Amino acid sequence: MLIFLKHNRFGKGLFFSTSEKKILVRSQKFVLLCLSRVVEHGPKDEITSRIGDMVAKFVLVPLRGGVATLHVAALNALSVVVGVGINAEKKKRRRKEGSTPTGIDRHHDELMRRTIECLVGVKGASGWTIGEKRAALSAGLALVKCHPKVDSETRRSLLKASITSILPHLTDEEEVKDEDVSAKADAMELMLTLSEEIIKQDSGQDVFEETFALLEPLTEQASPHVREVALTILQATLMAILSQARKDSGKVEFSPDSNTVGRLVIRCFDRSRMVQELAVKTLAIMMQVVDMVDKKGSEEGVQSSLVLSDFEEEKSESAAATDIAKVLAGWAMEVNLVPLASRLSDGLGDVASSSRGTSVVLR
């Protein structure tokens, strides 16, 4: 298999256009599969020294082309190649050797751009299945991990592309096949892991605001399932920010606005019990993050928000609203109450939630 890596003309010649397109596409897919196997099982020292060449000859060329099936195969190979490069760097750090570029760096910007294009549906990718989009998510995650200094605009573009690309699949209640359910779960996990990696490099505030802006319309949808998906993603994003704040609160910026908090409070009185629980727990985590950032990592006083996440016992709507009001009291004293009251007033007319609980919080 190493002949694929050593023969300089092989990669160039194979990807020339030809009238026998189907045969050529199959050949290209086979080579990309072979490349993945060689990288996984071949001699690591030789492979890591040639990663740049492999990416240029076998991954970038099909990604630049217009054949969507080759994009998927190239993205799968890219994930494997980058993964090997990351592991090689980790071993060097453990042995305290000098870090040497694996060759990915000089192609990183274009690889990231091509991956984002695949996620947003450029060059025929708009009809991709959730399984095929998973390949792009995996490649994007690998590229973020291998390059800790990706510029913030690119990181946010990747985050936006990852969320918008899989949301239609996650919110489609008609996809009920077992393989669809499994693919959805895998894609959701990858997207959340990608968000977590971006949070490590970026401001928690920026990541959350970008995520919330994309998901806010879904929190008002008539379908409880759609609202559940939106809140599940928001909750996982906040958990990643909280984890980062616990490690180093000084590097985390987080200050939710009145619209965001008000939107969550409204969903705390959702007519769907599942949505209600998700909203209450998400609000609790948000207040924990606020406390952690304000107290510079101190756990003292953070427990005040945990009362919201205790849903083991049934509470009356008024009692739950009172708990929420108590938790919000300290936070609300530091912000303009008018926008918060305005946002909560909107909840009085929300057909998917109870106005009684919202009105108690308003009082």
| φ/ψ (deg, to 5) at 270 | -60, 150
Token readout for 197 is 């990696």
Q: List, in sequence order, every residue forming a beta bridge with 270; answer none if it has no partner.
A: 353
Radius of gyration of the chain (CA): 24
317 within 8 A of 270, measured Cβ to Cβ = no
* Helix (H) or strand (E) run with residue 94 in it: helix 68-94
CA distance 130 to 132: 5
188 and 170 in contact (C-beta within 8 Å)?
A: yes
From the list 322, 343, 340, 332, the residue with the least C-alpha distance to 290 is: 332
Measured in whole angstroms, how far is the alpha carbon of residue 245 from the centre of its chain? 18
- pLDDT above 90 as % of the chain: 14
What's the confidence (pLDDT) of residue 97?
47
Residue 231 has pLDDT above 90, yes or no: yes
3-class state of residue 279 by DSSP: helix
Helix 204-215 to helix 178-201 angle, to the nearest 10 degrees? 140
Q: Determine the Cα–Cα distance for residues 37 and 39; give it in Å rounded to an integer.
A: 5
Packed helices 68-94 and 108-120: angle between N→C axes, nearest 10 degrees:
140
Confidence of residue 229 (pLDDT cuts 50, 70, 90): very high
Q: pLDDT tens-digit profile of 312-340?
A: 445 566 666 777 777 776 666 555 565 66
Name the residue with tokens 């020292």: 45
pLDDT-above-70 percentage for the chain: 68
* CB contact at 8 A, 154 and 97: no
Residue 1: pLDDT band (50, 70, 90) is very low
Say if residue 304's pLDDT is above 80: no
SS3 assignment, position 270: strand
Helix, strand and coil content of the chain, in percent to the nearest 5, comes to 75, 0, 20
Average pLDDT over residues 111-126: 79
CB atoms within 10 A of CB 29: 19
Alpha-carbon distance of 244 to 248, in angstroms, equals 6
**Measured between alpha carbons, how far is 285 from 249 in angstroms, rounded to an integer?**
15
The whole-model pTM stands at 0.78
Q: Which residue has the higher pLDDT, 186 or 18?
A: 186
> What is the rounded distance in angstroms from the CA atom of residue 101 to the CA atom of residue 97?
12
- How far apart are the two ends of the chain, measured CA to CA in Å? 72
Bigger pLDDT: 19 vs 225: 225
* Best mean pLDDT range from 37-41, 175-179, 291-295, 324-328: 37-41
- Give the residue among 202, 71, 185, 191 at the shortest CA–CA distance from 125: 71
Q: Indicate the DSSP class of residue 176.
A: -
CB-based contact 106:52 (threshold 8 Å): yes
- Cα 328 from chain centroid? 28
